[in-house]
Amino acid sequence: MTLLPEDFQNAIVLGDCLDLLRELPEGSVDLIVSSPPYNLGKEYESKRALASYVEDQAKVLAECSRLLSETGSIFWQVGTYADRGMLIPLDIRFFPVLEDLGLIPRNRIIWARQHGLHAKKKFSARHETILWFTKSDSYIFDLDAIRVPQKYQNKKAWRGENKGELTCNPAGKNPGDIWLFRNVKHNHEEQTVHPCQFPEDMITRIVLATTREGGVVLDPYMGTGTTAVVARDQGRVFVGAELDPGYHEVALRRLAGEPNTEGVFPNLKTLRDWCERVGADPANYRFDAQTAARATARSQSRIFPESHHLEEMERRLAYEEDCFAADLRGEERPDDHFTGGQVRERTSEEPAQLFEEAI
Ligand SMILES: C[S@@+](CC[C@H](N)C(=O)[O-])C[C@H]1O[C@@H](n2cnc3c(N)ncnc32)[C@H](O)[C@@H]1O
């Protein structure tokens, strides 16, 4: 039984989220997952702009806290605020706001990226963060719904009373707090016209871990509707707001999963899903952010799971550190696992995506 009024069930309201939040009843939401906007305007001196931004966000978060059910969770995803060479991690400013609302911190998740802008006067930023707070100690955490493979799945104890038995849970392990869902950019099938979308798999992990079927999932800043699509696909109820009419329209089209009157879809994923469902040829349709001449079927592309990107990143970081150590000691650098240390052209047999990620 949901406390959320019927009018708001599975709705994305066009308008300011604060207006929506104030209308919803206390305790009516099981999960809030969002990434707020943080282009902080330039009308004040920057320090003041940041303080005033956090003040405004505190009003939104106070409403969010009121809306959370006793078993509820909030996941707030932010990056950094950059200004004139300064870099301020925004989660540091949000943490005390959430704590002051009486919410309980559970995790600070690092969302790592393999690519990004190359900084010249500081280390290049390669992560953002997701703060997870709960309303109480009786929160939902369904680990079994989100386990990932163990590194040594079949390893057995070789002595002691458990000799011969598996040393780890065969159902898989806890995914940990370093996540590497690939950023949604031009070659990602979920890319809409929005510049900073959530990857659907990342939101699915959060929804499955912290809600039950039929639970209510709120995103105050829906963008082009990733949270809504995931909640719907996982049998949860969604609600949220989006201020920009263009993004709002895309979100509704993404949820509908149908082409518009010109045969255009909001992204490649929606196009492929629809074509698979009705048996149509993807090459006859287009999607908003399309750059290639023709849309391709999913069977012609390889979509890598998070574990692939995580392993790639681990290998790459280890390789880079080995090179640094070799340079320090005047030794020969080790071979790169993929390119042999050389950046080379992709051969026609190699999937473009894999190659791009390896270099
Ligand atoms: C970081 S984006 C969210 C993207 C979203 N996670 C997705 O996957 O598409 C933030 C969104 O908040 C919207 N926004 C900004 N201020 C808002 C407000 N006061 N109320 C509702 N939406 C707002 C922006 O237009 C933008 O689309």
| Same domain flag for 277 and 223 | no
Residues in the chain with pLDDT values less than 50: 340-359
Which ligand 1 atom minimizes the distance to the CA of 224? Answer: 9
pLDDT at 86: 87
CATH number of 69's domain = 3.40.50.150
Residues 189 and 292: their CA atoms lie apart, in Å, by 12
Residue 155, in any domain of the structure:
no
pLDDT at 355: 36
Residue 240 Cα, ligand 1 centroid: separation in angstroms? 10
| Same domain flag for 132 and 72 | yes
| Same domain flag for 182 and 322 | no
Q: Token pair for residue 246?
A: 């263009």
Give yes or no for residue 35 CB within 6 A of ligand 1: yes
Residue with CA at minimum distance from ligand 1 atom 4: 223
Residue 149, in any domain of the structure:
no
- Pocket-testing residue among 81, 192, 243, 250, ligand 1, by greatest number of atoms within 8 A of Cβ: 243
Per the CB < 8 A criterion, the answer to whether 220 and 64 are in contact is yes
Residue 150, in any domain of the structure:
no
| Same domain flag for 38 and 187 | yes
pLDDT at 338: 58
Into how many domains does the chain fold?
3
| Same domain flag for 273 and 314 | no
Domain membership of residue 223 as a residue range: 6-140+177-255
| Same domain flag for 87 and 202 | yes
Residue 128 Cα, ligand 1 centroid: separation in angstroms? 17
| Same domain flag for 214 and 280 | no
pLDDT at 239: 98
Residue 154, in any domain of the structure:
no
Residue 206, in any domain of the structure:
yes
| Same domain flag for 183 and 312 | no
Number of Cβ within a 10 Å radius of residue 342: 8
| Same domain flag for 101 and 207 | yes
Residue 160, in any domain of the structure:
no
Which ligand 1 atom minimizes the distance to the CA of 220? Answer: 21
Residue 65 Cα, ligand 1 centroid: separation in angstroms? 19
pLDDT tens digits, 100-138? 999 999 999 999 988 888 889 999 999 999 999 999 999
pLDDT at 238: 98
Amino acid at residue number 278: V
Residue 109, in any domain of the structure:
yes
Domain end position, chosen among 255, 287, 321: 255
pLDDT at 43: 58
Find the distance separating the first CA and the last CA of the chain, reported in whole Å.
Answer: 51
Residue 162, in any domain of the structure:
no
Residues 173 and 151: their CA atoms lie apart, in Å, by 9
Give yes or no for residue 193 CB within 6 A of ligand 1: no
Buried b (16+ CB within 10 A) or exposed e, 311-324: ebbeebeebeeebe
| Same domain flag for 204 and 334 | no
